Amino acid sequence: MSKKSHTYRDSGVDIEAGENLVNSIKDMVSETHDHQVLSNIGGFGALFAPDLSGYEEPVFVSSVDGVGTKLIVAFRSGRYDTIGQDLVNHCVNDIAVCGARPLFFLDYFSTGKLEQQIGVDVIRGFATACKESGVALIGGETAEMPDIYKEGEFDLAGTIVGIVDRKKLITGSGTREGDLLIGIRSSGLHTNGYSLARQVIFSHYKVDDYIEELQSSVGDALLAIHRSYLPVIDRLKNEEGVRGFSHITGGGIAGNTRRVLPEGLALDIDWESWERPPLFRWIQELGSVPEEDMRQTFNLGLGLVAIVSPDQEESIHQSLVEMGEEPVTFGSVTASSRR
């Protein structure tokens, strides 16, 4: 009795499809490179030679993240051109709040069956966001794992590395009682809170349904790109009186801003001091979501917080307005014994 022949392709992994994807994205990836990148995609390791001139004591700052269940919204809508931007911008923000200038980004794209056009759309998003922030997309991994993911599903992760002079690190360590909290507007849910948002929304609506309160479809509202705050941080980080920044991700405004407070300090937030965007109000009303859950889950319209000394509030507001921002002072830093 002859044995059946088994191939890698029979098991669900198509090496040729992966090679075709790499060939189709080479040009868009190379557009993010400059003289510091010493290799193109396809090698065993990505090579980057940082220009350290001008740094007295260079510190590399890194972060790794994903886009969570926002991916499920992309699956339902069949749109894959934005989530790559979400991932890059999220990672950029996480190191920019430390004062770092992002240098390079690497991605991990894992799927059940590689669909080339989906892969191209996702990676085009990586490249678009990398170019906007001056980041080199220097490498990545595409993995087919048919026994892990259902048909049409995939996951993303990204790693970013940046650099800052040690003396210019922004840690919030200089924050003191009486400092003010200035919020910069978000572009939507960004990449957090989607498990709750999906549970609420998709119990009532489909992804293509148009919502009058939002003046958009469900899909458009939920897939709004997680904005990059790099230009804002670059503008403010050298301003006198800026103590620190917090990127508002999972854990909400209070949870993330407390991460940069020195011991002994707390936050006094006026939750009524800004108008929440319609999306957040709609989710809360639709799902009868308790206020505490809203505060702990979502950015509520403020995606970046700057902690500033009170005597610099006016000048910092003016700098932000000149950039087209609508900043809001929404609280202050207090001693931890006070609420």
Average confidence score pLDDT of the chain: 92
Are 262 and 256 contacting, i.e. CB atoms less than 8 angstroms apart? no
Owner of token pair 């599903």 = 153
pLDDT at 339: 45
User: What radius of gyration, in Å, describes the C-alpha atoms of the chain?
Assistant: 22
Residue corresponding to tokens 């210019």: 168
The encoded tokens of residue 330 equal 């929404």
Q: Are both 126 and 185 inside the same structural domain?
A: no
Q: Is the pLDDT of residue 286 over 50?
A: yes
Q: Are residues 62 and 123 in the same domain?
A: yes
Cβ partners under 8 Å of residue 330, min gap 6: 181, 182, 183, 269, 270, 271, 273, 274, 302
Whether residue 217 sits in one domain with residue 137: no
**Cβ-based neighbour number of residue 225 at 10 Å:** 19
Token pair of 31 as six digits = 């557009």
Q: Is residue 70 part of a domain?
A: yes
Instruction: Give the whole-angstrom CA distance, residue 122 versus residue 332.
Output: 40
Q: Which residue among 123, 145, 168 closes a domain?
A: 168
CATH code where residue 39 lies: 3.30.1330.10
Tell me if 114 is assigned to some domain. yes
Same-domain status, 112 and 186: no
pLDDT at 107 over 50: yes
Q: Which helix (H) or strand (E) holds 308?
A: strand 302-308
Q: pLDDT digit string (tens) for 144-187?
A: 888 888 888 999 999 999 999 999 999 999 999 999 999 999 99
DSSP single-letter state for residue 230: H
pLDDT for residue 233 = 98
Compare 47 and 27 and report the one with higher pLDDT: 47
Q: Could you list the residue range(s) of the whole structural domain that residue 90 is in?
A: 15-168
Q: Considering the domain boundaries, does residue 175 fall inside one?
A: no
Q: Could you tell me the CATH number of the domain that includes residue 322? A: 3.90.650.10
**288 and 249, same domain (yes or no):** yes
Helix orientation angle between 83-96 and 70-77, rounded to the nearest 10 degrees: 160
pLDDT grade for 324, boundaries at 50, 70 and 90: very high
The 3-state DSSP class for residue 329 equals strand
- Tell whether 142 and 215 lie within a shared domain: no
| pTM of the entire predicted model | 0.93
**Domain stop point among 116, 142, 168:** 168
